[in-house]
Amino acid sequence: MNNEWLLLGPAALYMMSMTLTPGPNNIMLTASGANFGFRRTMPHIWGILGGCFLLFSGIALGLGVLFERFPMVQTTLRWVGSAYLLYLAWKIATAPPPNLNGTQHGVPLTFFQAAMFQFANPKAWVMGLALMAGFLPENGQPVVNALVLAGFAELVALPCIALWAAFGSAIGQWIKSDKAWRLFNITMGLLTAACVVLILR
């Protein structure tokens, strides 16, 4: 094994610290797990992983250079991501309680929606840029190195983000009244919207 791949240990710790802590993805997974259950939230989970895999690989293969050469790209991404995040926050906050009057309202985020959101998610960009700058081996095939590191990162991230969906699912079992559901969804919406402050500061 190439000694440079010993960086996978620190890379795993980095990914755990980034994906176990609150952020737009984890807050939305908690809300989805509570409202739709863990099983129906799985496409959302896989979409996050798939989107980040493509994003991280692209960054390693030169996509990150856009930020260096064209600062306006980063600024535009920040505002577009913030606007979309506010839209999602509003959808979460105004979602009706599940199983209201015996029917299921709303649908969880699809694989494609969750994957595409990562390209507008500034936290995912920051995470990918730091991951590839700090842990990508310099020797060997660049494409192989990028794919291996990105794949390893998402393997580490899987149980971390799934934990948030499971946490939300457990909360959903505990909430029994429509009033409590509305309060929970409003809280999750506000927390999602609060992420915009960190993005734009």
Predicted confidence at residue 111, as pLDDT, reads: 96
Q: Which domain holds residue 162?
A: 3-200
Residue 8: pLDDT band with limits 50, 70, 90: confident
Residues 6 or more apart whose Cβ sits within 8 Å of residue 131: 11, 14, 15, 56, 149, 153
Tell whether the torsion through CA atoms of 41, 16, 14 and 76 is positive or negative.
Answer: positive
- pLDDT, tens digit (0-9, with 9 covering 90-100), for 116-161: 999 888 889 889 989 998 898 888 888 899 999 999 999 999 999 9
Residue-wise pLDDT tens digits, 66-78: 777 777 877 787 7
Q: How many domains does the chain have?
A: 1
What pTM value is reported for the model? 0.87
Structure-model confidence comparison of residues 56 and 177, the more confident one: 56
Could you give the percent of the chain with pLDDT greater than 70? 91
Q: Which residues contact 115 (CB under 8 A, 6 or more apart)?
A: 47, 48, 50, 51, 54
Look over the chain and give the mean of its residue pLDDT values, rounded to a whole number.
87
